[in-house]
Amino acid sequence: MTGQINPPNRLLMGPGPINADPRVLRAMSAALVGQYDPVMTGYMAETQELYRQVFRTRNDATLLVDGTSRAGIEAALVSLLEPGDRVLVPIFGRFGYLLQEVAERCGAEVHSIEREWGTVFPVSELEAAIRRVKPKLVAVVHGDTSTTLAQPLDELGAICREHGALLYTDATASLGGNEFAADDWGVDVVTAGLQKCLAGPSGTAPISLSPAAVEVVESRKSIEAGIAAEGAPRSPRRIRSNYFDLGMILDYWGPSRLNHHTEATSALYGARECARILVEEGLDVAVARHELHGRALAAGLQGLGLTLFGDQEHRMNNVVGVFIPEGLDGEAVRRTLLEDFAIEIGTSFGPLHGRIWRVGTMGYNARKDTVLTTLAALEAVLHRAGAKVAPGGGVTAAYEVYA
Ligand SMILES: Cc1ncc(COP(=O)(O)O)c(C=O)c1O
């Protein structure tokens, strides 16, 4: 007989997933109720209202897609894009390529522009590309975890509107720990996940759609046979996924409560608690907390004598990229940190693989104790591995930030 699940207590200080807030795990162990039980539909309505606050939007169409963050991405893109639609995808890291790939799979005509990893686009470059491509949709990552940077979006919505394009952004890595304001920034569609600054497990993708985006989805409405009433819409341009058909998902979350999937009840309880924690703390306070601990972590890594990666002006608050010292086996260092200190930090992808580690301080783990513990442990492991580190330099530099 295989044993019960009994994982070790790790401190997850990578780019996500991170340790879930115990409140979220407790909420997820609550009793199940039927998906049309008024208690459940009440929880659903509360969850929608909480996420409106998290996204800073008044969008009625604010709900959860069941699945990890990329389920939210797929739902957004497959529901908005039809074959031949023109999309602009500005890419400044791995997750930009994911948007490109999903848009291609939707049959869209994808126009990508790229930036060297570690930089973001000046808004003038984005505007010039929008003028040239004339896209129906601009799809851009807000915070790209692969490079640790966040693309400023505050002016992009107005530019998109001026040129008749919708704006979609993936805020999986940034939401809750960095400023984000869907309505003020003119973001039409935003999707996220729980496993970063929202302090939950992955598996649920909060999403919000502006009235203009809902109009596009509704224009493709097609209700599946077996539940469709007489005369229900069956668009010839129907969305090419059933599971991610936001038209049907909106009907399921809306007043008609039209049956679609069986709600992932425990996941919804968890997602609701994630948002409740953030709203209770206050979004500005949560962003300030991430900024403080991110700054302390960055100072501490520099205090050890390490060099930070990327344009620090545009770094997300919640994750720091740091160069692996010359001649060191980065994976061996990560393994020793995990085995001897039960601390996980992140590796990296693509052109950064083997060159940088990514160290996160986010959600439940954006705390002074986690930052100081990680810096102390990293110093010890680096020292043992033969790297030159300033003794006590990491913790001291972080303490100076806290002072
Ligand atoms: C910015 C961003 N987008 C998308 C994803 C994909 O998320 P998931 O693995 O939850 O599907 C991640 C995961 O780290 C991410 O950081």
Alpha helices in 262-388 (DSSP H): 265-281, 283-303, 330-341, 368-384
Q: Is residue 342 domain-shared with residue 388, that is, in the same domain?
A: yes
Kindly report whether the global pTM for this prediction surpasses the value 0.85: yes
The pLDDT value given to residue 251: 95
- Cβ proximity of 380 and 47 under 8 Å: no
Q: Is residue 156 domain-shared with residue 293, that is, in the same domain?
A: no
Q: How many helices (H) and strands (E) does the chain have?
A: 14, 13
Ligand 1: residues whose CB is within 6 Å?
Answer: 16, 68-70, 95, 141, 144-145, 170, 172-173, 193, 202
Question: Which of 279, 301, 316 represents a domain boundary (last residue)?
Answer: 279
Residue range(s) defining the domain that contains residue 43: 32-279
Question: Ligand 1, closest atom to CA 145?
Answer: 16
Residues of the chain with pLDDT under 50: none
From the CA of 368, how far away is ligand 1's center (Å)? 26
Residue 6 belongs to some domain of the structure: no
Interval 316-355: pLDDT, tens: 999 999 999 999 999 999 999 999 999 999 999 999 999 9
Please give the distance of CA 179 from its chain centroid, rounded to a whole number.
Answer: 13
Both tokens of 82, joined, read 């039809």
Q: Is residue 105 domain-shared with residue 118, that is, in the same domain?
A: yes
From the CA of 226, how far away is ligand 1's center (Å)? 34
Rounded Cα–Cα distance for residues 92 and 122 (Å): 12
CA nearest to 61, candidates 189, 226, 221: 189
Q: Is residue 242 domain-shared with residue 314, that is, in the same domain?
A: no
Q: Return the DSSP state at 188.
A: S
Q: Return the DSSP state at 351.
A: G
- Burial class from Cβ neighbours inside 10 Å (0-12, 13-18, 19+) for residue 353 reads exposed
The pLDDT value given to residue 230: 84
The pLDDT value given to residue 228: 84
Question: Ligand 1, closest atom to CA 142?
Answer: 1
Mutate-to-test residue for ligand 1 from 70, 144, 198, 274, highest number of ligand atoms within 8 A of CB: 70
Question: Which of 256, 279, 302 represents a domain boundary (last residue)?
Answer: 279
- Burial class from Cβ neighbours inside 10 Å (0-12, 13-18, 19+) for residue 25 reads middle
From the CA of 176, how far away is ligand 1's center (Å)? 15
Domain total in the chain: 2
The pLDDT value given to residue 232: 85
149: CATH:
3.40.640.10
CA nearest to 96, candidates 55, 146, 155, 152: 146
Mutate-to-test residue for ligand 1 from 142, 145, 148, 178, highest number of ligand atoms within 8 A of CB: 145
Mutate-to-test residue for ligand 1 from 69, 91, 100, highest number of ligand atoms within 8 A of CB: 69
From the CA of 69, how far away is ligand 1's center (Å)? 5
The pLDDT value given to residue 233: 82
Q: Is residue 213 domain-shared with residue 139, that is, in the same domain?
A: yes
Question: Ligand 1, closest atom to CA 143?
Answer: 1
From the CA of 385, how far away is ligand 1's center (Å)? 32
Rounded Cα–Cα distance for residues 188 and 305 (Å): 43
Angle at 370 between CA 170 and CA 51, to 5 degrees: 30
Residue 5 belongs to some domain of the structure: no
Rounded Cα–Cα distance for residues 342 and 38 (Å): 43
